[in-house]
Chains A and B, each alone.
Chain A
Amino acid sequence: MSLLDVSNVSLSFGGIRAIDGVSFTVKPGEVFTIVGPNGAGKSSLFNLISRIYEPADGAIRFDGRDLLACQAHEVIELGVARTFQNIELFDHATVLDNLLIGRHSRRRTRWFEDLLFLPRVRREERAHRRQVEEVIDFLELAAYRDRMIQGLPYGVRKVVEIAQALVAEPRLLLLDEPASGLSMEETESMAWWIEDMQKDLGLTIVMVEHDMGLVSQVSDRVLAIAEGRPLAEGTPAEIRAHPEVIRAWLGGVEEA
């Protein structure tokens, strides 16, 4: 049984076919990576899954439910969280506040209950804070807990964004280029975080990434796409050795 089932999706911008008939399935508990040259449509695929873009064609199902029937703000409730290539955080707030707002989708209290700070609200608030502290411990963010996002190093912000996704207790985590802009050391720790999230938290992870070292280290399966079309699917080693893939990356034949 697959957790995420993307079948034959297409996406057009005006006359341009950004994604053309891509299908893949992701099994529970695996790390599935999408690779491809710039402009291949990797981020667009993510934006389809997280409902920023509307596909022209195809179906996306998460845990048997039709994801295309959801709006962008509803996917988190189903258990799909994501990060962004360029980091989308609340820059004028602290790490802690960013993580607390990350619990938004798990909050159940009504505004008038909040306003009066009823016992139920207090109980819930304590639970939210406990959950947030667990994630802070897990990703070793304690040192940055009360710092503003604005002043944090890029590499730390990347981890905070993952933490913000984790506090919502997702089942599927979409990581859009988790290692972009990171140093070698930071990329190494990113690999550990990903392995920990898979093994300790039992998360299913779909990732878009350029760094083939990281991809090989953490991925169970890899899908290579180019120009919006699927090229090959297999283990990291298979993909690296695949003639089509090598041609698309190194040959530059299809650069438009």
Chain B
Amino acid sequence: MDTLQLLIAGIANGCIYGLIALGFVLIYKASESVNFAQGDMMILGAFLAIALINTNQADLPFLLGLALAGLTLGVFGYLLDALLLRRVFGQPQLTMVVLTIALGFVLRFIIGAIWGHDPVGLESPVAGERLTIGALTIPLVDVVIIGATVFLVAVLWLFFARTRLGLAMQASSQNQMAAYYMGIPVKRVVSLVWAMSGVVAAIAGVLFAAKGAVEPSAGLVFGIKAFAAAVIGGLGSLPGALAGGLLIGVMEPFAGRYLPSHVAQVSPYVLMLVVLIVRPSGLFAQMKQKKV
């Protein structure tokens, strides 16, 4: 029973890692670089949701607050690319890496300046509720997290497989020149991917804050772990990102239970190193190597 309990808690955590890892992969495919502010965008989404939903703040209905936070982060992602990152397009990948690391610092500072540095939780309709099945007791929020992730991933999958825009996104990430001549406005499509990863970050942030308290700098460590998840899955693969997230999420509670705490903390990175040594392109790598 204990194992099952740990497993479910791990899967719920892993879902959030997976969503952020998904954001890493989306951006990696669209912009061929890594957005190291992904974790901080998630925390921004969390704090926005808290400000919109909590009773001592704007006190909006939960789903409305969630939608508004998602919308805001979506617009943020779009404008971030359209106004700033598009200007460094064509520069070495490192340019955008440094830029997004800096952006992460700025976001952490702004979040701290607006909402303070004390941990706050998001008041969700399922807070404190538990689901009891036989001897198994699961926090309802974990069930909601898993359900929401499954739903979101299903929608994303349908979007990429079926819609004209989703296919255009896939095409742009494979060959920008060819995409242009299919009539795809590649720059706008890339900005839309950024918007999408903003929305996903906000949803992950809301799920994260519904589970426990958040503070402005939480995005840093969380983002790095999610990056490890994305690398484990193979940076170019969306299913890989989710699998990597789940792997790290499930690993943590077990490592915490059965290993000394200082070992448990580094376990995600050890896993990443092992994967990089055994399968350098990640567990779910689709592409062998980019042809030059």
Residues on A lying within 8 angstroms of B by beta carbon are 50, 71-77, 81-82, 84, 88-93, 100-102, 104-105, 107, 109, 111, 114-115, 117, 164-165, 168
**Chain B positions within 8 Å of A75 at CB level:** 181
User: Is B168 an interface residue, CB under 8 A from the partner?
Assistant: yes
Q: Tell me the B171-204 residues at the A interface (CB within 8 Å).
A: 171, 174-175, 177-178, 180-186
B178 with A90: CB separation less than 8 A = yes
A82 with B165: CB separation less than 8 A = no
CA distance A105 to B167 in the complex (A): 12
User: Is B87 an interface residue, CB under 8 A from the partner?
Assistant: no
Given A111-B164, A114-B162, A114-B163, CB of A88 within 8 Å of CB of B183:
no
Given A76-B181, A104-B184, CB of A93 within 8 Å of CB of B174:
yes
Q: How far is the CB of B95 from chain A (nearest CB, A)?
A: 23
CA distance A114 to B159 in the complex (A): 8
Contact residues of B: prevailing secondary structure: helix
Residues on B lying within 8 angstroms of A by beta carbon are 155, 158-159, 162-168, 171, 174-175, 177-178, 180-186, 286-287, 291
B182 with A109: CB separation less than 8 A = no
Partner of A111, one of B166, B182, B183: B166
Partner of A115, one of B158, B174, B177, B286: B158
Partner of A73, one of B183, B286, B287: B183
CA distance A255 to B184 in the complex (A): 39
B163 with A104: CB separation less than 8 A = no
Q: How far is the CB of A191 from chain B (nearest CB, A)?
A: 24
CA distance A89 to B168 in the complex (A): 14
**Chain A positions within 8 Å of B165 at CB level:** 111, 114
A91 with B182: CB separation less than 8 A = no
B163 with A168: CB separation less than 8 A = no
12 contacts between A and B (CB under 8 A): A50-B181, A71-B185, A88-B178, A91-B174, A92-B286, A92-B287, A93-B174, A104-B164, A111-B164, A114-B166, A115-B155, A165-B181
**Chain A positions within 8 Å of B155 at CB level:** 115
Given A76-B181, A101-B182, A102-B182, CB of A92 within 8 Å of CB of B162:
no
**Which residue of chain B is the closest to A165 with respect to CB atoms?**
B181
Q: How far is the CB of B222 from chain A (nearest CB, A)?
A: 30
CA distance A51 to B88 in the complex (A): 21
> Among the interface residues B158, B174, B178, which one has the most CB atoms of the partner chain A within 10 A?
B178
B162 with A105: CB separation less than 8 A = no
> Among the interface residues B167, B174, B181, which one has the most CB atoms of the partner chain A within 10 A?
B181
**Which residue of chain A is the closest to B163 with respect to CB atoms?**
A114
A76 with B174: CB separation less than 8 A = no
Given A104-B167, A111-B164, CB of A73 within 8 Å of CB of B174:
no
B158 with A90: CB separation less than 8 A = no
> Among the interface residues A71, A81, A111, which one has the most CB atoms of the partner chain B within 10 A?
A111
Q: How far is the CB of A215 from chain B (nearest CB, A)?
A: 24
Partner of B162, one of A84, A91, A102, A115: A115
